[in-house]
Structure 1
Amino acid sequence: MSKNIARLAVTAGLTAALSFGGVMAPVTMAFAAGTPTVATEKGKVAITDETYTGTTFKGIQIFTAKVTQDQKGDGSWDGSAAKTLSDIQWAQGNVKTLVTTALKDVTGAPDEDADAQTWAEFISKAQGSIFGEATAVDTGTTLDLIAKALERDGNLTWTTPSDSTKGSFKDLDHGYWLFVTDTPSTTSGANGNTDAYTSPIFTIVGGSDVNVAPKKDVPNVTKAVKDDKDGKFVTDDSKNVFTAANKAADSAAEQLVEYQLAGTVASNINTYVKYSYAFTDNLPSTMVPNLDGNKPVVEVKINDSVVDPTCYSATYVPGESTNALTVSFENLKEAKDKTGNPITVDGSSTVYVNYKAKLVAGKINADMLGKAQVNNVKLTYSNNPHTNGTGTTVDHPAYDYTYGIDVTKVGNDEDETGKLKTLEGVQFTLQEKDSNEFIKADGTTTTDKDGAILTTSNEGKINVVGLDEGTYILKEVTPAPGYNNSASNGVTFTIARNALKQDGTEVIPDINSANVTAAAGVVKADSAVASTGKLSFTIVDKKGSGLPLTGLNGVTFTWIAGGAVLCIGVAHLIRSRKQAEESEQE
C-alpha cells in the first residue's frame, strides 16, 4: 500500500512538472477541497491565438492513463485542482521507440524496455525545475528532446483539430499529450508577418477542459531615421523606437543621413539551438549606404553591447530594382562583443543596426522633389525550434525628402507676345546663408565659385535640385547683354517645411516662411510660388539705357568735306605732274 502511495505521489509530481511544460497547480495528496473523481468523458483542448487565427496545430499522445481530478459540489470539474495520472501506459504506434531513443543518453535513463510508469517518473525527475506555465521549454531538456524526436519523424499519425477554429481538439483519449504548430499563418496583407511555431505544449487531457495560448512570440522590426532638425530617432522622448520611431527626414544631395534598424527576438528563443536572424533593408534606387570599398559601414548592437563584426555578415547589393543592405546572423545566440565576451540573448533582447545613407546627386531629378524616397526593412528569423524554418515580418518604411528651386530670369521689356522677355545666358551663384561653399545645379557643393556657375537656359530658367531645408542667397554675377545686373547683392529665400508627416505624404515648402527678399523691383511681385518640393520665383533685370549724343551731324559734314578737299587736292597734284611731264617733252 505504501509503495502504491509513493508511486502515486511521483505521478502527481509528473503531472505538476509536465502540464503545459510546467506547473499547473500545487500538488497535494489531500482531497478535502473537492471530490477526487476519475474522468470518463473524452477530453478537450483549445489552443487560441487571437492574432494568427489561421495557424493550425496538431497533437500526439505520449502516454495513456486514467485521470483523476477534484469535482465541485455541482459535479463540475475544479479547474484549479491538479490532475493525477494512474495506470500509465505508452500510447500506440512508434511513440515509445522515438521517446526512449531520444532520451537514452540522458543520465539515469531507464532501460528501453522499462515500463511506462518508470519512464514517466524519469521524465519528471530529469526535467528538473526548468518548467512553468509561462516558461517555454528550454532546448536540450527532456521535454525538448521528446518534442524534437516526435516532430521530426515523418511516419507518425498526428491528431488534427476538430473544426475550423484551427486549434480546437475534441474527443481526445485521456493521458499525456504533446501539441505543436502544424502550419503557421500570416497576418493580413501580401507581406504579412509569418507566425512562429509554438514551443512544445505538454498537457494532461481528461477532467477539466484545457485552454492554452501558444508559447511563442513573433519578432518585430522597425526603422527610424534621424532628422537633422532635431537629431532624434524618436518623435517622443518618453517612448522607444518601437512605439515612436521617427519615420521621416530631409537632406541635401550627398548628405549622409543616419538610419536605425531595430528588431526583437522570439520570447521562446531559449527553445532554439540555432537562431538565424537577418535584417534586409531595401533602399530606393536614388540612395546608397556609406561604404568602405564595397562593404556597408554599420554598427550592430544587442541591447547596449556592440557586436563583434565577425559574428555577422554585412553586405550591400546595388541595383535599380533591388538596392539592398543586409545584416545577418547565422546564429544570434552565439553573438560576442568586441572583447570576445558572449552576449546574453533572451526574449527581452533588442538588436540594433545603425548606418548612414545618402541621396546620390546624379539620381536626383525635378520629378522626385518633395516626394518620399522610401526605405523598407524586413526581418527574417527562425520560427521553428526543431527545423530550419524561417518567417518574415512585414516591411517597415522610413522616408527621406529633398527640395529644389525653379527661378526664371526676365527683362523689364516685353517680347513680341506682350510678355516680359526671358533672358538666356545670365549667370548666378547659389550659397546657403553663412556658408563659404557654392551649390551646383545637382545640389552638390564646392568652394570653387567658377565651378558652380548656374546659367539660365533659352527659356530663362535655372533649376537646382537636392537642397535641404535652409536659407539661401542667389546672386547674379553676369547679366544678359544689354541688361543691368539687378541681383548682384543677392536674392535671399528660405526653403522651410513644417513637421514632416510620418506616412510618406508629399511635402510642399511653406510659402509663408519663404521670405523671398531682394532690393526693390528685383523679384517680380507675387511671383514666389510653392509647389511639391519646390520654390519658384522670377528675377527682373532692367534693360540698359543710352545717354544723349550731340554734334553728330556737324562732325559728319566735317569728315565729308575734309574727304572731298583731300580728293580734289590729290587729283590736282596728279594733273599738275602730268602737265609738267608733257611740257618737258616738248
Structure 2
Amino acid sequence: MLRHRQMMTDQMGIKQKAEEKKMSMSKNIARLAVTAGLTAALSFGGVMAPVTMAFAAEGGSTVTFSDSDYAKSSTYKGIQIFKAKVTTTNGTTTVSGIEWAGADTTEQQAIQQAVVNAIRTIKSDYSSTNAQDAADYLSANAHVSGTSEQVKNDNVLSLIAANLEKNTTLTWKKTSENSAQLTDLSAGYWLFLTNTSGEPDGKSTDAFTAPVYAVIDGTSATTIKPKKSVPTVEKKILDDADAAKATDIKSSQAWKDVADSQIGQEVNYKLTGKIASNYATFDAYAYKFTDNLSTGLDYVDNSVEVYALNNNTYTKISSTSYSVSFQNQKLTVDFPVDNNGNKGLKSAIADGTGTLSIDENTEIVVFYKAKLNKNAVIGNNTTEHTVGGNPNTVKLEYSNNPYGNDTGETIEDTVADFAFKLNLNKVDQGTEKGLAGAVFTIQSADANTQDQYIASKDDPTAGVVAGQLVTVADDNDLPGYVKFTSDKDGKIPVSGLDAGSYRVTEVQTPDGPYTKANPFTFTITPTYDDATMKVKDLKAEVSAADKVRTDIAFGTLDGKAGDNVLHGQDGTGTNAAAGEVTINIGNTKSVGLPLTGLNGVTFTWIAGGAVLCIGVAHLIRSRKQAEESEQE
C-alpha cells in the first residue's frame, strides 16, 4: 500500500513538473512572440524582403546593398548586436535564444554597454544587462511603424548606432569598393551603416544611410536599400523684364538658366537646396551654399535673404542663423556646426517669430542680387568658361553622416547672364564714308526702363559706369556722360546692352553742312541654347516706321556710293557668337553749287527793272493828262 502511494506521489510529481515545464514553455513562447514583434518592429530599417527565398552559400547569409547610383563607389558595414536562432515558418519569423553578440567577451561587453547606455538615456532607471530584456525593450519602444520611416536622432535605435560608431575597438564586417555585399553573416539581429561615401563621376557625394536594422537568419540572402537621399542644389536667374512684371519674385514662374541685362543693372538669383531624407537622424546638420561669380559680375551688398520653403509657403530665416561672406568673387551662405552651440539647420530660427519648421521635405532657398560690371563678357566671347555670357556656379556642402562630422558636396549648377554690343557707324549718305564728330544719345524704349539713357563713359562723381542706364533730370540739359561722339572713322561702340528696344537720337551733326538724322528705334532679340548656355541666334531690326528709311542700314555697307541710299550686305547685321549688332546711320550734306556770270545776270535784272519802272511812270502820266483834257 505504501509503495502504491509512493508510486502515485511520484506520478503526480512528474505530472506537476510536466505542467510546470509546459507553463515555462508557454512563457518562452510568449516571449518569443514579443521577440517576433522585435523582428516586425525593427526590420523597418530598409530590408527588402525577397520575392522568393534565396539561400546563401554554406557558412551564413549574404546581404547585398541596393543603390543604383552609389553601390559601386560607397562601402557599407555591419555589426551583429544579438545572436539568436531565427526561424521562418509560413512567412512568420520568430527569434529565440537571444544573446549578446561579439567576437569575444570584451566585444560582447562593449556591444552590451552601447545598447544598455542608449536605453538608459531614455529610461534612466533601466538596470538590466540581459540581452533578452534589451530585445524586449527595443521591441516595445522603437516606435517605428514601417520600412519607409526614418529613425529620429533621439530614437533609441539611433542612440545605439551612435554609441557603436564611437567605439573604435569594435570589429565591423565591411564591403569593398565595387562589391556591395557582406557574406557569411550569422543568425541574429544586425545593424548596417555606410562605411565610406562614394562620389562617382557626375554625381554628388553620397549620404550615409540612417541606421538599418535587420534580422538575419544565417541562411537566406537579403537585399538592403540604404535609407537616405542625397541633397541637391539648383540655381536660377530672373530676367529683369520678368522681375518687373512679378508682384513677388519668390513665386515667379519665370526663373530660368539664362537671362540678359544691362551693365550696372541689378539681377535676381535664386539658389534652392534640398535636404537628405534621413535629416531626422541628425543631431546637427551643416549646410553651406558656395556661389562663384565670374569676373564680369559684382555681388550687391546685403542683398541675401534666406527662406525655408514648405508646401509653397516661404518662411524667412533669421540672419542670426547663418553667416554671409563675399571674397574673391565667392559668395557663401553658411549654417555652421561648431563648438559654440551652432547645429546648422537644426538650430535655425525664423525671422521675427523664432518658430521654424524644417524637415526632410523642406527646401532652403537663397535669394540675392548681382550686376554686370565693365568686365562683362559680351555674347559668347569668352575662353574663361565653357558656357557663354557671364556665368556663376553654385555648389552645396552638407552633413552626410549622422554619426560623424563628415560632409559631402553636390555637383555644381550654373546659370549665365548675357549682354550685347552695338556698333553704331555714322556715314556720309552720299559717299558712305565715316564722319567724325556726330553726337548721339541712346535711350531705353522698354516699358520697365523707358527713356533712361545709356551712359557713354564712367563718371565717378555721378556714380555712373559706362553702359549702365541712368535717369536724367532735364532732357534739355544733358550731362556729358550720356553723349556718344563718333570717332575719326565715324564709329561709336556701345557695350553692355540688354536685349530689348532702344531709341537713337542725333543731337549734333558732324562738322560741316550736314542735315541732322531723324531719331530711330531698334530692337535686339537673342535666342539661347539652354543646354550649352550660349547665344545661338541674334536678331536686330528697326521699328516698322523706320524700315522705309534710306539712311539706315544693318551690317557692312555694300559700297555702292552715290545713290544716296544705304544698303547692308546680307547676314552682316548681327554676330550671335560675338553678341554684336552693327547699324549705319547716314547724314545728307547740304552743298552750294557754283553759278557762272552772276554779275551780268544781276545787271540785266537791274536794267530790266529800270525800264519797267520808266514804263509804269509813263503810263501813269499819260492817263493823268487824258483825265485833265476831259475835264476842260
Contact kept, 8 Å, 1:289 with 1:356, in 2: the verdict is yes
CA distance in 2, matches of 1:465, 1:327: 36
Aligned length: 511
The partner residue of 2:454 within 419, 424, 439 is 439
Deviations 1:273-301 (A, max 9, x none): 1111122222222112332xxx3342423
CA distance in 2, matches of 1:104, 1:233: 59
Q: Superposed, which structure 2 residues align to 1:149-164 within 5 Å?
A: 149-161=163-175
The partner residue of 2:68 within 50, 53, 58 is 50
Q: Percent identity?
A: 35
Matched, 1:529 2:545: no
CA distance in 2, matches of 1:193, 1:496: 37
Matched, 1:476 2:489: no
Matched, 1:286 2:296: yes
Contact kept, 8 Å, 2:379 with 2:418, in 1: the verdict is no
Inter-CA distance 273–215: structure 2 relative to 1 (3 Å threshold)? same
Contact kept, 8 Å, 2:48 with 2:222, in 1: the verdict is no
Contact kept, 8 Å, 1:187 with 1:193, in 2: the verdict is yes
Contact kept, 8 Å, 1:296 with 1:314, in 2: the verdict is no
Note the C-alpha offset of 1:208.
3.4
Note the C-alpha offset of 1:258.
1.7
Note the C-alpha offset of 1:454.
0.3
CA distance in 2, matches of 1:517, 1:16: 79
Inter-CA distance 483–517: structure 2 relative to 1 (3 Å threshold)? farther
Deviations 1:433-492 (A, max 9, x none): 3743321233222416232110112232101112112222222222222241342x1232
Determine the structure 2 residue equivalent to 1:395: 412
TM-score (norm 2): 0.74
Inter-CA distance 297–171: structure 2 relative to 1 (3 Å threshold)? closer
Determine the structure 1 residue equivalent to 2:440: 428
Matched, 1:380 2:397: yes
Secondary structure in 2 matching 1:166: coil
Determine the structure 2 residue equivalent to 1:565: none
Contact kept, 8 Å, 2:231 with 2:274, in 1: the verdict is yes
CA distance in 2, matches of 1:345, 1:461: 58
The partner residue of 1:466 within 496, 502, 509 is 496
Q: Superposed, which structure 2 residues align to 1:277-316 within 5 Å?
A: 277-291=287-301, 295-303=302-310, 304-316=313-325
Note the C-alpha offset of 1:425.
2.2
Q: Superposed, which structure 2 residues align to 1:220-369 within 5 Å?
A: 220-231=232-243, 246-291=256-301, 295-303=302-310, 304-319=313-328, 322-328=329-335, 330=337, 331-360=344-373, 362-364=374-376
Secondary structure in 1 matching 2:583: strand
Matched, 1:137 2:151: yes
Q: Which amino acid aligns with 2:155?
A: T
CA distance in 2, matches of 1:373, 1:367: 9
TM-score (norm 1): 0.79
Deviations 1:146-196 (A, max 9, x none): 1001112211111023x664321121111111110011111313xx30000
CA distance in 2, matches of 1:498, 1:459: 32
Matched, 1:202 2:209: no
Runs of 5+ unmatched residues, structure 2: 1-24, 50-56, 338-343, 383-387, 457-465, 554-565, 601-632
Contact kept, 8 Å, 1:69 with 1:82, in 2: the verdict is yes
The partner residue of 2:200 within 184, 187, 193 is 187
Q: Which amino acid aligns with 2:284?
A: K
CA distance in 2, matches of 1:240, 1:426: 44
Contact kept, 8 Å, 1:369 with 1:402, in 2: the verdict is no
CA distance in 2, matches of 1:401, 1:51: 35
Contact kept, 8 Å, 2:378 with 2:419, in 1: the verdict is no
Q: Which amino acid aligns with 2:216?
A: V
CA distance in 2, matches of 1:198, 1:135: 13
Contact kept, 8 Å, 1:224 with 1:233, in 2: the verdict is no
Range that drifts further, 505-514 or 8-17: 505-514
Deviations 1:318-367 (A, max 9, x none): 43xx332425355213333233242221121111112222112x323657
> Over aligned residue pairs, what C-alpha RMSD do you find?
3.2
Matched, 1:125 2:135: no
Inter-CA distance 139–491: structure 2 relative to 1 (3 Å threshold)? same
Range that drifts further, 369-378 or 510-519: 510-519
Determine the structure 1 residue equivalent to 2:603: none
Q: Which amino acid aligns with 1:300?
A: Y
Secondary structure in 1 matching 2:207: coil
Runs of 5+ unmatched residues, structure 1: 26-38, 72-80, 415-419, 555-586
Determine the structure 2 residue equivalent to 1:581: none
